[in-house]
Amino acid sequence: MNRPPHRRSSQSGKHPQHKRKSIPPNSRWFAFRALQAFHERQVFVSRVLNDQFKEERIDSRDRKMATELTCEAVRRMQTLDTILTSFVSRRREEVEDDLWILLQLGCLQLVFLPHYPSHAAVHETVELCRRIDRPRAAGFLNGVLRSIERSIVSRKPVDEIDLAQLSASELPIRRSRPDEANYEVVKFDSNLFWSPTVDSLSYVSDVGSLPQWLIQRFPTESDEQRLQLALWLTTPGRMWMRVNPLQTDREKTLEVLAAAEVKAQPGQLPESIQIDGHVAIIDLPGYDEGWFSVQDISAMAVTDLLDPQPGETVLDLCAAPGGKSTHMAERMENRGRIIACDTGANRLRMINENARRLQLTCIETHLVNENETSFPANAVDAAVVDVPCSNTGVLGKRPEARWRLLPGDFQSLVPLQRRLLTQAIDQTKSGGRIVYSTCSIDPEENEKLVQSVVDQRDDVKLIREQKHFPGQPSDGGYQALLMRD
Ligand SMILES: C[S@@+](CC[C@H](N)C(=O)[O-])C[C@H]1O[C@@H](n2cnc3c(N)ncnc32)[C@H](O)[C@@H]1O
């Protein structure tokens, strides 16, 4: 058998509100509820989790596990459905949506999260059947999950992955902890996927849990690279922190992290710190005092490339929630003016909150409308235009993004990006710098777009481009530095 006879459709339909049973809520229950809400409301995973954490009392350990289970289940949905299809004899349409979510959760733990004991993964998931008033489905769930558990023949840690050496019964999983090998290859006792040598695109799509059309857009040169990129995008990647030099320094922040038993090391930029694993930074001493922020190293590269100077006036055209604006204000020693514009009123408020915490006063926020042509400033010294994009460089961090993006989205994104870049150039004075930035790896949103704008104008030059390939060392993205003549 090369692959299962049919693909499962995505989750749909209404979920009844379940009455609470007397079993105390735990992280698996929270994850189940979050996944239910995610499929029902079609909103961001972080939003359903935050809503739930606000509604229910949940300790930090359960919160961490519920977050991990929910994000992983959404990100790995296609792989989970592919595996389940082989073990469930009923057609997907014949299995209630809630039971399918429980199957996904159980399968996720058994296959991808071996740090949860398999007996607990099966037992606790089956218990949830009773909690949602489906006690008669317990046997069915137990049977499916036990056969998945039995079908796992081996788990092999490897540092390099070779597509030609993999088979249709093998699932490569990217591991991102520094004390682990880069990958683990899980071998099943039968072929659950397409053969990687016969149809590598389908294999990569199933094991990397990504739509085929999206993989076909990857700027990769070989099937091997495609697989590596797809697997990298199944992990959230390493966490990075940015130190606020106006409130503290990197040494002190590293001491705070060491005291909290968080392994961390200085990054290449003087304000950057790389964290091993993940840490709830809001719980760290110094957070309320504005000592640091979470920001990926490839996002920090935007401000580094623009190199804003104290006293300058800088326009941040797509500013919310303020990652680049606050970084620029720190680099400018809080002297000068940052004009932070955005179309999202709520998101604009987040800039003010961030600036307040970081004790930065040189940022002015401005709500603009989508067809804005006049901005609160012109002839600025420098401008950042960090446009809305496909997010293809950060799919690991945004669990739902891969399922939300549609091939046609590029047709609306690219003209908007072009317009925003043009506006940023128009607002910048002669000799001024402009940085165009995305968290995409798609050439249409990146180098092709910038080149076509530069080709059409004789008042701007392309000075430098920076491409960040996902995993090297962190999030994917693109920046171009332009200079106005
Ligand atoms: C990639 S995010 C910006 C992230 C931000 N620069 C940071 O570092 O935190 C893109 C932003 O563009 C905003 N946006 C979308 N259309 C816009 C427009 N026409 N004018 C200005 N901002 C827009 C969105 O609301 C969103 O906040």
The size of the chain, in residues, is: 485
Task: Note whether 250 and 210 are same-domain residues.
Answer: no
Within a domain: 220? yes
Quickly state the pLDDT bin for 374 (edges 50, 70, 90).
low
Q: To test the ligand 1 pocket, which listed residue (342, 350, 416) has its Cβ within 8 A of the most ligand atoms?
A: 342
Q: Which domain holds residue 261?
A: 237-294
- Residue of 293, 303, 318, 374 to test ligand 1 pocket, by largest number of atoms within 8 Å of CB: 318
Return the amino acid letter for 454. Answer: V
Confidence of residue 411 (pLDDT cuts 50, 70, 90): very high
The response to whether 342 counts as a known ligand-binding position is yes
- pLDDT the model gives residue 19: 46
Give the CA diameter of the chain.
Answer: 73
Q: How many domains does the chain have?
A: 3
Please indicate whether residue 319, judged by its CB atom, sits closer than 6 Å to ligand 1: yes
One domain for residues 273 and 221: no
The arithmetic mean of pLDDT across residues 322-342, rounded, is: 98
339 in a structural domain: yes
363 Cβ inside 6 Å of ligand 1: no
Question: Strand pairing partners for 172?
Answer: 185
Kindly state the average pLDDT of the residues 51-65: 85
Find out whether 323 is annotated in a ligand binding site.
yes
**Domain CATH code at residue 257:** 3.30.70.1170
Q: Is the CB of 343 under 6 A from ligand 1?
A: yes
- pLDDT given at position 238: 87
Ligand 1 atom nearest residue 439's Cα: 1
The C-alpha atoms of residue 28 and residue 70 are separated, in whole angstroms, by: 9
C-alpha to C-alpha distances, 295 to 34, 141, 236, nearest whole angstrom: 26, 41, 13
Q: What mean pLDDT comes out for the span 193-199?
A: 96
Distance, CA of 99 to CA of 69 (rounded, Å): 16
pLDDT at 10 over 50: no
- Binned at pLDDT 50, 70 and 90, residue 9 comes out as very low
Distance of alpha carbon 36 from alpha carbon 41, whole angstroms = 9
Indicate if 214 and 253 belong to the same structural domain. Answer: no
User: What does the pLDDT read at residue 237?
Assistant: 86
Cβ–ligand 1 contact at 62 (below 6 Å): no
Average the pLDDT over each of 4-8, 251-255, 348-352 and give the range with the smallest value. Answer: 4-8
What pLDDT does 53 receive? 84
Per-residue pLDDT at 57: 79
321 is in an annotated binding site: yes
11 — pLDDT class (breaks 50, 70, 90): very low
Question: Which residues participate in catalysis according to the annotation?
Answer: 439
pLDDT at 18: 47
257 shares a domain with 219: no
Percent of the chain with pLDDT over 70: 94
pLDDT band at 176 (very low <50, low <70, confident <90, very high): confident
pLDDT, tens digit, 9 for 90 and up, residues 203-248: 999 999 999 999 999 999 999 999 999 999 999 888 999 999 999 9
Ligand 1 mean position, distance from CA 387 (Å) = 6
The closest-lying atom of ligand 1 relative to the alpha carbon of residue 322 is: 9
Q: What is the CATH number of the domain that holds 361?
A: 3.40.50.150
Measured distance CA(253)–CA(85) in Å, rounded = 48
Ligand 1 close to Cβ of residue 302 (< 6 A) = no
pLDDT band for position 373 (cuts 50, 70, 90): low
Within a domain: 71 = yes
Decide which of 194, 211, 235 is a domain's last residue: 235
Confirm or deny that 480 is annotated as ligand binding.
Answer: no
Interacting residues of 257 by C-beta distance below 8 A, sequence separation 6+: 263, 264, 273, 275, 279, 284
- Please say if the pLDDT value at position 371 is more than 60: yes
Boundary of a domain, candidates 259, 276, 294:
294
CA distance 458 to 439: 27
253 and 123, same domain (yes or no) = no
User: 479: CA distance to ligand 1 center in Å?
Assistant: 15
Provide mean pLDDT across the span 98-115: 97
**Residues 350, 284: one domain?**
no
State the pLDDT at residue 128.
95
Look at residue 179 in the predicted model and tell me its pLDDT. 80
Is residue 38 packed enough to be buried (19+ CB in 10 Å), middle (13-18) or exposed (0-12)? buried
Average pLDDT, the chain: 92
Q: Which DSSP category does 261 fall into?
A: T
- Examine the domain organization and report whether 108 and 187 are in the same domain: yes
**pLDDT, average across residues 323-336:** 98
> Is any ligand 1 atom within 6 A of the Cβ of residue 386?
yes
Confirm or deny that 324 is annotated as ligand binding.
yes
Residues 356 and 282 in one domain: no
3-class DSSP assignment, residue 240: strand
Residues 420-460: pLDDT tens digits?
999 999 999 999 999 999 999 999 999 999 999 999 999 99
Do 272 and 345 belong to one domain?
no
Whether 104 and 242 map to the same domain: the answer is no
Question: What's the 22 CA to ligand 1 centre distance in angstroms?
Answer: 45
Are 289 and 338 part of one and the same domain?
A: no
Residues 405 and 434 in one domain: yes
Q: Is any atom of ligand 1 closer than 6 Å to the C-beta of 77?
A: no
Helix (H) or strand (E) holding 250, with range, is: helix 250-259
The answer on whether 386 is annotated among ligand-binding residues is yes
- Ligand 1 geometric centre to CA of 1 (Å): 47
Q: What is the pLDDT of residue 446?
A: 98
**Is any atom of ligand 1 closer than 6 Å to the C-beta of 315?**
no
